[in-house]
Every structure is written in structure tokens, then in C-alpha cells.
Chains A and B, each alone.
Chain A
Amino acid sequence: MSDEVVKLGSKKKSRFMDEVMQLLPEGGNLNLCLTCGACSSGCPATGLAGMDPRKFLRMAALGLDDEILKSDWPWMCTMCQRCIYVCPMKIDIPQLIYNVRGSRPRDERPKGILGSCDMALRNDSCSAMGASPEDFTFVVEDVLEEYQEAQPDFKDMQAPIDKKGAYFFLNQNSREPVTEPDELVPLWKILHLVGADWTYGSKGWAGENYCMFLADNENWEHITRTAAKQADDLGCKIFLNTE
């Protein structure tokens, strides 16, 4: 519970509520809350920063936008959507969280998330760890060659980049190529054994999208479109998420 007594204005409108209601089908059902608390009782973020999902929604409904904006809680909610899953009215609180995140000036959002988003915008890899298409290609080729030589059963194993017409377009979390390249190999081995026709893209290969977590609409769309376009340009049939 907060220490301060909350004072309600008489005619104050909530910008967050209105924005999200316009955005979502049925207005995200934001006005249908039964205040039952199912969301809060099963939310791992309940109690952090003196907040919980029900309280957050009530504050928005009451037009306490300024108080909401001051809270760090929107960055402690992971938008996992379990609150929607358990809600009898299927109220979309995570979309409210997302819009509140996006309402902070961009340079005042958490530095780590901001930095990872900006890193992804440095080149066409869209990697939150900043690895360029050249870095990625080098690591993949280098690791592949090493394993082809060292493990005779896998001398014909492939890890293609930009293979035209491949059936699967794979993404890859940056963690493996950047910090633990040997961990790339088990996935390649499985794909080799089943005879999968697959490729990475030199552009948009990175699986993570911190601009989305930053609630930076323009840039998360840019990252997603870069990956999707590369898959389309190569003529791939299935975009396969490897996480």
C-alpha cells in the first residue's frame, strides 16, 4: 500500500485508459474489471514498488496518470499476460503497461533496455549485443569449420547464411555467437540429422528485440520488419523461432 493518501480530482480524464481503449478490440475490456483480484493474486510482480495489477488498473481508471507515470512498476511487470489468462473479463493490463512505458521520455527509460535497443539499431543484424553481419558470418563459419574437422560424423554439416529458397529461416539469440559460440552447435547437429533445409539471414538474424521492451514502436517494428523482409527476400517458407 502507498503511504500517501490518494486524492481524486473531479473531472480528470485518464490518457492511458483512453489510449489503450482505442487501441484494443473491445477497448481491452478495461472498464469491465470486477476488482476480484485474480490478476494480483497470481502475479509475481505483486508487491514490488508497492503496486499490483489490480491497483494499477484502478489507478488508471481513476485518472491517476501522474502517479502511474512516477511509478517504476511498469518496468517490473514483464507483460507476461498471465493476468489476462486468469481474468474472468480478459482485461488487457499489459497493454496499459506498455503504453505507460512508452509515455516516459525515451532517454529516461531504463538505461540497460535503452542501450540494448540502440545497439540493435547500429547495423542490419538487429542484435542487442551489437554484432555486425560480418561478425556473425565469421563466427558461424569459423565454428562450423572447426566442428566439421573435429567431429567426423558431422563433416557434411552445414550452417548456411542467406541460402536462397531454404525452407526454414532461423533466428538466433545473440548470446551464442557473441559469448558462447560452441553452444550454437547442438542445434546445427539436430538440423543436420533430420535433413532440414534451413538458413540464417545476414540481416535480421538476432532473435531478441529490446526496442519492443523499451516500448519504442518505430524501432521495434524496424527490427521485426528487417528480419521478416530478409526471410521473404530469400524466399523462405517458415520463419522458425529457435528459442
Chain B
Amino acid sequence: MKNIYEYYAKWIREGKLKVNSDWNKDLKIKFTVQDPCQIVRKSFGDPIAEDLRFVVKTVVGEENFIDMHPNRSNNYCCGGGGGFLQSGYKEARLQYGRLKDSQIQATGADYCIAGCHNCHAQIHELSEHYGGGYGVVHLWTIICLALGILGENEREYLREDLKEIAVYGA
């Protein structure tokens, strides 16, 4: 049982995934990353959080990455886990997520990368509910964007600022 963050990092280190952050050199779009509780604290610990950061920094540029605090194994849960999304306690769930939203807003990032689907759905809703306006994207989207292979129909979660950037086939 492994998680794909580890392999993204491995493939970049081995040169199989020839990726860089040139696309963002002038744009300077800022990113933060959510450490999914299930993957980091509850399964693989800080080493996979380091792999995740290595991948993100490689694809967005180190100067465009801002960490939340606290982070890694000490990160706050966003409130999307444990079935909360389907439990019917929406108000409580949004209240729960306030801490996560504040953490993200404090980074000033334009996007929060969320590799976990529960995190993705919850943080997306937090951004709208609390008015932060930051985007929420899967890691694979940003990797493909950086590789120049992200087509126009694969950009569901990119905001206007990135809809037209490095579109494959355009």
C-alpha cells in the first residue's frame, strides 16, 4: 500500500517526470498545500509530507509556495473527513472548517492544492463560504499544467487566472 505523492516525487527525482516551474516564473501565482490527515498523520507521517512539498515546489517554484502553520503531521483537519461531508451537519462542518480557512487565508495563497477528495470538496466550500476566493486544485492538475499537457477540458478547478495558461493543443 503506497500513496501516489511518493511516486510523483520519485519520478521527478529519477528524471522520468521532466517538470519545472518556468510557467510560473513571471505569473508568480502563489500556492499552499493541504496535508491530508489520512495520508500524512494517520498513514505515512512527515516523510510523505516532505515528498508532497518537493513535488509542489518543483512545479510551482519554491518562491511561490507558502506553507500553512501548523503543518505536516501537526496540520489541522479541514473537516471533510470522517464522513462529515455526508453527515448532514453542514453548519457544524463549516464552523469546524473555520480554522482551516483562516490558516489558508493567512498564507495569502491564490490556490490550495488538495490531493484528497474529501479535503478538496470541503476546502472548496470553505473558500466560497468564508469569501476567501482562493482556488482548490488537485495535484495532478498542476503537474500537468507545468508539463504543458493540460488541455482546455481538464481545467475544471482552475480559476480565470490559469484557464488560458499553457493550454495543451492551443
Q: A interface vs B, CB < 8 Å?
A: 42, 44-45, 47-49, 72, 75-82, 85-86, 110-113, 115-116, 147, 150-151, 153-154, 173, 175, 180, 182-183, 185-187, 189-190, 193-196, 207-208, 210, 213-214, 238-243
Verify if B166 is at the interface (C-beta below 8 Å from A): no
- CB closest chain-B residue, reference A49: B92
Q: Contact between B77 and A175 (Cβ–Cβ < 8 Å)?
A: no
- CB closest chain-A residue, reference B81: A78
Q: Contact between B77 and A194 (Cβ–Cβ < 8 Å)?
A: no
Shortest CB distance A166–B (Å):
14
Residue in A48, A80, A150, A185 with the greatest tally of chain B CB atoms within 10 Å: A80
Q: Contact between B41 and A85 (Cβ–Cβ < 8 Å)?
A: yes
Which residues of B have CB within 8 Å of A208?
A: 117
Please tell me which one of the listed residues A86, A110, A238 contacts residue B88 in the complex, with CB atoms under 8 A apart.
A110
Please tell me which one of the listed residues B37, B82, B93, B147 contacts residue A82 in the complex, with CB atoms under 8 A apart.
B37
Given A81-B41, A186-B144, check contact A48 B87 (CB 8 Å). Answer: no
Pairs across A and B, CB under 8 Å, 19 listed: A44-B79, A48-B96, A72-B89, A76-B87, A76-B89, A78-B81, A78-B84, A110-B83, A151-B151, A153-B168, A182-B153, A183-B141, A186-B150, A190-B11, A208-B117, A243-B4, A243-B115, A243-B116, A243-B117
Q: Contact between B154 and A183 (Cβ–Cβ < 8 Å)?
A: yes
Given A44-B96, A44-B97, check contact A113 B37 (CB 8 Å). Answer: no
Residue in B77, B87, B96 with the greatest tally of chain A CB atoms within 10 Å: B87
Which residues of B have CB within 8 Å of A81?
A: 37, 41-42
Q: Contact between B140 and A186 (Cβ–Cβ < 8 Å)?
A: yes
Verify if B17 is at the interface (C-beta below 8 Å from A): yes
Q: Contact between A207 and B144 (Cβ–Cβ < 8 Å)?
A: no
- CB closest chain-A residue, reference B7: A240
Which residues of B have CB within 8 Å of A76?
A: 84, 87, 89, 92-93, 96
Q: B interface vs A, CB < 8 Å?
A: 1-4, 7-8, 11, 16-17, 36-39, 41-42, 73-77, 79-89, 92-93, 95-100, 115-117, 121, 138, 140-141, 143-144, 147, 149-151, 153-154, 156, 168-169
Shortest CB distance A154–B (Å):
8
Apart from the given pairs A76-B89, A85-B41, 5 other A-B contacts in the complex at a CB distance below 8 Å: A44-B98, A78-B80, A82-B76, A150-B169, A186-B154
**How far apart are the CA atoms of A175 and B156 in the complex, in Å?**
13
Shortest CB distance A91–B (Å):
15
Which residues of A have CB within 8 Å of B95?
A: 47-48
Q: Contact between B41 and A45 (Cβ–Cβ < 8 Å)?
A: no
Q: Contact between A210 and B151 (Cβ–Cβ < 8 Å)?
A: no
Q: Contact between A194 and B138 (Cβ–Cβ < 8 Å)?
A: no
**How far apart are the CA atoms of A111 and B87 in the complex, in Å?**
7
Q: Contact between B156 and A182 (Cβ–Cβ < 8 Å)?
A: yes
Please tell me which one of the listed residues B4, B74, B77, B88 contacts residue A44 in the complex, with CB atoms under 8 A apart.
B77
**How far apart are the CA atoms of A42 and B37 in the complex, in Å?**
14
Q: Contact between A190 and B86 (Cβ–Cβ < 8 Å)?
A: no
Q: Contact between B74 and A82 (Cβ–Cβ < 8 Å)?
A: yes
**How far apart are the CA atoms of A190 and B4 in the complex, in Å?**
11
Please tell me which one of the listed residues A49, A207, A239 contacts residue B1 in the complex, with CB atoms under 8 A apart.
A239
**How far apart are the CA atoms of A157 and B138 in the complex, in Å?**
21
Shortest CB distance B38–A (Å):
8
Q: Contact between B88 and A193 (Cβ–Cβ < 8 Å)?
A: no
Please tell me which one of the listed residues A86, A116, A173 contacts residue B74 in the complex, with CB atoms under 8 A apart.
A86
Please tell me which one of the listed residues A48, A151, A189 contacts residue B169 in the complex, with CB atoms under 8 A apart.
A151
Q: Contact between A180 and B156 (Cβ–Cβ < 8 Å)?
A: yes
